[in-house]
Amino acid sequence: MTDFLRVAGAQIDLSVGDLDGNGDRIVEVIGWADEIGADVVLFPELAVTGYPPEDLLLREAFLTASIETLHRIAASTGDATAVVGFVDRGYASARDDAGPPRLHNAAALLQGGRLRGVYHKCLLPNYGVFDEDRYFVAGRSPGALWEINGVVVGVSICEDIWVADGPHAAQAQGGADILLNINGSPFHRGKGGERAAMLAERARATGLPIVYLNMIGSQDELVFDGQSMAFDAAGALLYRGPQFAEDLFWLDVPLSESGRAGVEATVVSTGDLLEGEPEPLPSSHPPLDDLAEVYAALTHGIEGYVRKNGFNGVVIGLSGGIDSALTAAVAADALGTDRVWGVAMPSRHSSEGSITDARALADSLGIRFDVVSIEPPYTGYLETLEPLFAGREPGIAHENLQARIRGAILMALSNEFGGMLLTTGNKSEMSVGYATLYGDMAGGFSVLKDVYKTLVWDLARWRNRDGEVIPQASIDKPPSAELRDDQLDTDSLPPYAELDPILERYIEGDESVRSIVADGLDGDLVARIARMVDANEYKRRQAAPGVRITTKGLGRDRRLPITNHFRG
Amino acid sequence: MTDFLRVAGAQIDLSVGDLDGNGDRIVEVIGWADEIGADVVLFPELAVTGYPPEDLLLREAFLTASIETLHRIAASTGDATAVVGFVDRGYASARDDAGPPRLHNAAALLQGGRLRGVYHKCLLPNYGVFDEDRYFVAGRSPGALWEINGVVVGVSICEDIWVADGPHAAQAQGGADILLNINGSPFHRGKGGERAAMLAERARATGLPIVYLNMIGSQDELVFDGQSMAFDAAGALLYRGPQFAEDLFWLDVPLSESGRAGVEATVVSTGDLLEGEPEPLPSSHPPLDDLAEVYAALTHGIEGYVRKNGFNGVVIGLSGGIDSALTAAVAADALGTDRVWGVAMPSRHSSEGSITDARALADSLGIRFDVVSIEPPYTGYLETLEPLFAGREPGIAHENLQARIRGAILMALSNEFGGMLLTTGNKSEMSVGYATLYGDMAGGFSVLKDVYKTLVWDLARWRNRDGEVIPQASIDKPPSAELRDDQLDTDSLPPYAELDPILERYIEGDESVRSIVADGLDGDLVARIARMVDANEYKRRQAAPGVRITTKGLGRDRRLPITNHFRG
């Protein structure tokens, strides 16, 4: 007979700032954990406040209310020990006069109606999308241990477990029987595999089982994919949760027999472990394939943004091209076809396919579709600008005007009928500035902001795997903005198959022009592209937020100056 | 006879990323410092890279090039010791795999053609506009001392000196004769007085003279006001530099006789101090009055943004109201009247004064002025939207359309003729979302983004102190967006004299609704305003950058989530 600890996990979707709603949900799940006889139930990092709360943490009233919520949650606990992420106040330091309040990213151990212990996150990420040093001070007790029904538990939070000699090492050395790690770990493409490899290594290195709990949901640009995991002491996978879906799971984690004599641990609960044989493990969910995963991240991102911000649906300008087609497909899959409105806005420069392909898409998706000509306002603009523009050839101003008319029409529909306008630009275009501010960049949220054009095509073909939803013509046609006759993206850009790898190295890789050119690429071309990326920072600064799916999106995780004279 | 150290300061304007240009300028000033016989010449924090370089610091090529520039500067040094801010590489740490490269915010001591020493900033600000933990690790040698011509010098960087027991305390205790502090200290209203009081206190507490060197210039949202200062060992002001203007100054700083036996310091230079009596102190520049200071910050901000980003001028929509009038006045004062183009865009709802007041302003400033009607495109929009809008009353969609037509017209002029469009919204409007995305919010830069409406009026009256430049009618008329007949801001907002103090407490103060209401204000009103501020975060996220003049602007120093369910 093996001892085991029944660990439950709440892979759930909470909302930033919704203290009451988050509290209610946590209390409800704690009730469930008691019912199924869990010894421990895990909640995500900063579950009480939602994650990441950003500068809400600078408001005293927010901190006070969140601590009150934690105490309400504590009062609801029974036999099961709940491990709940929250924000704890820290002690004042000599530097407090110079900055904001200093807090801890913390995990509360709650049981029997009381707060039994608090762990403070020791390793605070302050890179990429993370700004934890802005709010938190590091915990000073990495090796803290907790005794739950006679089992010695080490608790840690997210980043803590990513570093080989992090708190888990001290906890293992101190005599832990099991490691519990709670997370608010944002998704990027392929991150699940990185997490699984790291966790298996931690289990093997410490010789301890690990339960890793992650949240799902979306918050502005971030999506969280769940995929909670458990590993045994040998690093073998015991359980893997689904991606982008809530999951209340529990499993009986086998404990090794290694001695616990002399272990110093704070007693959290003094109940007995369950007796008899452990229940069979729940079925694991296989990780999604690459394209399925990215597609799911996009639907998850837009669904959460629309729901949490209270929109009744979305409006999308359909050009007949691939970007708007994929955006509409993602939106329809995320929100339902009755909440997506497609609008085609032809001009004198539009190809015939622009309407027919847009209509075919709307028909195959089953969404509302309207056609609104941009000619009447365009004529109006030309008329009113005539005294100033007289004698000048049509140029970029005329192209942008058309894009801006489309933006204004879509925003008028959004203002009048309430749907949020989705922008349709992809990461390739946003990177080089091949987009019109206040035109096609107008909108509240961007589905493809972090998706390079070549991946857009891959995703469209993937979406069509069971039959043509996105018109094949939209996939096959050469990309064009159709803002003047016979215009093609390749008039001013290299083919996307060449462009995208350069962009990825320059943006995600922070490589220099010289380093990229070293692989045999055309030096002038790479330098020109790098210059386009830099020179268009001002546009991106006014861009809508969008779902982040890479290690470096074009939002808060990439903080380049607009005014920037560096060329390299 | 008193010993003295001749300290020169380069209160100059450098550019982010312009390694060659910054290097050339620094070399040139070093030549001047040698000519005037300076023992030491101080340059700003991160002078080599420009400040703040943000994520350029994640690029290896940028770091390498900046170090090369530092060595070029070092090679140019003669007798005078140059203290130059730069980015130094740090040692790898266990956490390096989890994040970006770890660097130091550093000061190089250069003399006789060589690098003689390096100081690493010990206190790294990571609040407000500062993200230094994202890039830098703290220095470990706060008490480092340097011997320059027999004088023991303590060097520190910006934040280091703001904390009472910072590096200067260790340097004083170790035997320093003088403290030198180099800065990239962003302006906010009244900050000069805070700096002066703090520095005088540090001088008194350590019993040492202090020379404080700050930069000028602007970088995206930040402006730097210079106002370098020197204090004697008793805390008396020896010199104060001008605000928002370059200043190459030098002064003979008297040294006290206190013993230096046994002081451990790295020898930087072994020359002799100047003999004889010190030269008389240069004349100090009195600090600007409050309104003069804010006005200077705004002109400085727009001048730098336009120049460093290579625009030939600016375009401004003139509504006849006070915001656009003040924006135009600031722009004309900053750029010259021939580089500012005012455009009035009347509609069916415009008052008669909207044109006459706009024209009067343009005439008094002497800027180009044109009138472009928005009626033809507006009619075009109504026509093309008619099938969808049929039977509906004009509402917010119609109001926004008018604003967006103006935005599109101004952007067309910008695209066609090259001037950058300035937005004219003020902080009160931006806070509560009383602005149209892609309409009056369209533009590359915002002069009044951090200026509350009540301060806009004060600044307008101040600008008129020597005669009416901004039409009195624009100052006196009740604020209106003129997007429907007889519309007034007070239809949906309280008077600005009531609104602004509430906003200031909610935004700059991070106060709760309850705390603001505790002073006897109307609870429903305060809650409604707070809700407006929160609900319009999505607009601000797409707003143009603008000059920051308070302790909390609406840019990167205020990081609130868009999706936010907290009410309080």
Q: What is residue B294's predicted lDDT score, i.e. its pLDDT? A: 98
Do B508 and B451 touch, CB atoms closer than 8 A? no
User: Per-residue pLDDT tens for B14-48?
Assistant: 999 999 999 999 999 999 999 999 999 999 999 99
Q: By CA distance, what is B439's nearest residue in A?
A: A438
Q: Which of residues 452-491 of B touch A (CB under 8 A)?
A: none
Whether the predicted pLDDT of B561 surpasses 70: yes
Listed in sequence order, the residues at least 6 apart from A323 whose beta carbon sits closer than 8 Å to its beta carbon are A424, A425, A426, A429, A448, A453, A456
Distance CA B319, CA B323 (A): 9
Residue of B257 and A399 predicted with greater confidence:
A399
With an 8 Å Cβ cutoff, are B220 and A562 in contact?
yes
Whether the predicted pLDDT of A259 surpasses 70: no
Per-residue pLDDT band at A1 (split at 50, 70, 90)? low
Q: What is residue B110's predicted lDDT score, i.e. its pLDDT? A: 98
Q: What is residue B436's predicted lDDT score, i.e. its pLDDT? A: 97
Strands (E), B409-488: 420-423, 445-446
Per-residue pLDDT band at B352 (split at 50, 70, 90)? confident
Nearest to B154 by CA among B210, B235, B86: B210
Whether the predicted pLDDT of A94 surpasses 50: no
Q: By CA distance, what is B562's nearest residue in A?
A: A220
Q: A92-101, A168-177, B433-442 — which is least confidently predicted? A: A92-101
Report which secondary-structure segment, H or E, holds B201.
helix B191-206
Q: By CA distance, what is A540's nearest residue in B?
A: B542
Chain B partners of A381 at a C-beta cutoff of 8 Å?
376-377, 380, 405, 408-409, 412
Q: Which of residues 271-310 of A touch B (CB under 8 A)?
A: 304-305, 308-309
Do B441 and B542 touch, CB atoms closer than 8 A? yes
Smallest Cβ–Cβ distance between A408 and the set B126, B404, B541 belongs to: B404
Q: By CA distance, what is B370's nearest residue in A?
A: A388
Q: What is residue A2's predicted lDDT score, i.e. its pLDDT? A: 74
- 């990441």: which residue's tokens? A52
Q: Is A372 on the interface with B (CB under 8 A)?
A: yes
Instruction: Count CA atoms within 13 Å of residue B427 on its CB side.
Output: 27
Average pLDDT over residues A236-265: 90
- A560 to chain B nearest CA, in Å? 5
**Mean confidence (pLDDT) of chain A:** 95
What's the full length of chain A, in residues?
568
With an 8 Å Cβ cutoff, are A408 and B405 in contact?
yes
Whether the predicted pLDDT of A100 surpasses 70: no
Percent of chain A with pLDDT over 90: 91
User: Per-residue pLDDT tens for A102-141?
Assistant: 899 999 999 999 999 999 999 999 999 999 999 999 999 9
Q: Is B376 on the interface with A (CB under 8 A)?
A: yes
Chain A partners of B56 at a C-beta cutoff of 8 Å?
560-561, 564, 566
Report which secondary-structure segment, H or E, holds B406.
helix B396-417
Chain B partners of A559 at a C-beta cutoff of 8 Å?
54-55, 131, 134, 556
User: Per-residue pLDDT tens for B473-507?
Assistant: 999 999 988 888 888 988 889 999 999 999 999 99
With an 8 Å Cβ cutoff, are A411 and B404 in contact?
yes
Q: By CA distance, what is A567's nearest residue in B?
A: B17
With an 8 Å Cβ cutoff, are B396 and A388 in contact?
no
A158 is known as an active-site residue: yes
Q: What is residue B45's predicted lDDT score, i.e. its pLDDT? A: 98
Q: What is residue B91's predicted lDDT score, i.e. its pLDDT? A: 67
Q: Is A405 on the interface with B (CB under 8 A)?
A: yes
Do A513 and A530 touch, CB atoms closer than 8 A? yes
Residue B492's CB: how many other CB atoms inside 10 A?
12
Average pLDDT over residues A272-276: 93
Residue A467's CB: how many other CB atoms inside 10 A?
7
Distance CA B340, CA B368 (A): 7
Q: What is residue B538's predicted lDDT score, i.e. its pLDDT? A: 98
Compute CA distances B70 → A105, B8, B114, B154, B298, whole Å: 40, 19, 10, 21, 32
Distance CA A461, CA A470 (A): 8
Report which secondary-structure segment, H or E, holds A294.
helix A290-308
With an 8 Å Cβ cutoff, are A564 and B16 in contact?
yes
Smallest Cβ–Cβ distance between B408 and the set A128, A163, A404 belongs to: A404
Q: By CA distance, what is B129's nearest residue in A?
A: A134
Smallest Cβ–Cβ distance between B512 and the set A54, A59, A400 belongs to: A59
Smallest Cβ–Cβ distance between A566 and the set B17, B395, B404 belongs to: B17
Chain A partners of B369 at a C-beta cutoff of 8 Å?
none
Percent of chain B with pLDDT over 70: 97
Q: Which of residues 303-332 of A touch B (CB under 8 A)?
A: 304-305, 308-309
Listed in sequence order, the residues at least 6 apart from A124 whose beta carbon sits closer than 8 Å to its beta carbon are A105, A130, A132, A133, A136, A138, A159
Considering Cα of B147, then B148, then B151, then B157, what sign does the dihedral take? negative
Q: By CA distance, what is A506's nearest residue in B?
A: B59
Which pair of tokens denotes residue B19? 């390694």
Q: What is residue A260's predicted lDDT score, i.e. its pLDDT? A: 64
Per-residue pLDDT band at B94 (split at 50, 70, 90)? very low
User: Per-residue pLDDT tens for B269-300?
Assistant: 999 999 999 999 999 999 999 999 999 999 99
pTM over 0.90: yes
User: Per-residue pLDDT tens for B186-228?
Assistant: 999 999 999 999 999 999 999 999 999 999 999 999 999 999 9
With an 8 Å Cβ cutoff, are B404 and A400 in contact?
no
User: Per-residue pLDDT tens for B511-556?
Assistant: 999 999 998 999 999 999 999 999 999 999 999 999 999 999 999 9
Chain B partners of A541 at a C-beta cutoff of 8 Å?
544-545
- B476 to chain A nearest CA, in Å? 31
User: Catalytic positions of B, please?
Assistant: 45, 121, 158
Q: Is B527 on the interface with A (CB under 8 A)?
A: no
Q: What is residue A92's predicted lDDT score, i.e. its pLDDT? A: 56
C-alpha distance across the termini of chain A, in Å: 64
Whether the predicted pLDDT of B364 surpasses 50: yes
Strands (E), A367-459: 368-371, 420-423, 445-446
- B501 to chain A nearest CA, in Å? 18
Average pLDDT over residues A484-509: 93
A504 is known as an active-site residue: no
Q: What is residue A262's predicted lDDT score, i.e. its pLDDT? A: 77
**Mean confidence (pLDDT) of chain B:** 95
With an 8 Å Cβ cutoff, are B442 and A442 in contact?
no
Q: What is residue A510's predicted lDDT score, i.e. its pLDDT? A: 95
User: Per-residue pLDDT tens for A178-189?
Assistant: 999 999 999 999
User: Per-residue pLDDT tens for B303-334?
Assistant: 999 999 999 999 999 999 999 999 999 999 99
Burial of B260 (0-12, 13-18, 19+ CB in 10 A): middle
Q: In Å, how far from its chain's centre is CA A329? A: 19
With an 8 Å Cβ cutoff, are B512 and A60 in contact?
yes
Smallest Cβ–Cβ distance between B127 and the set A56, A99, A543 belongs to: A99
Report which secondary-structure segment, H or E, holds B230.
strand B229-231
Distance CA A285, CA B197 (A): 63
Residue of A487 and B421 predicted with greater confidence:
B421
Counted across chains A and B, CB pairs separated by less than 8 A come out at: 309
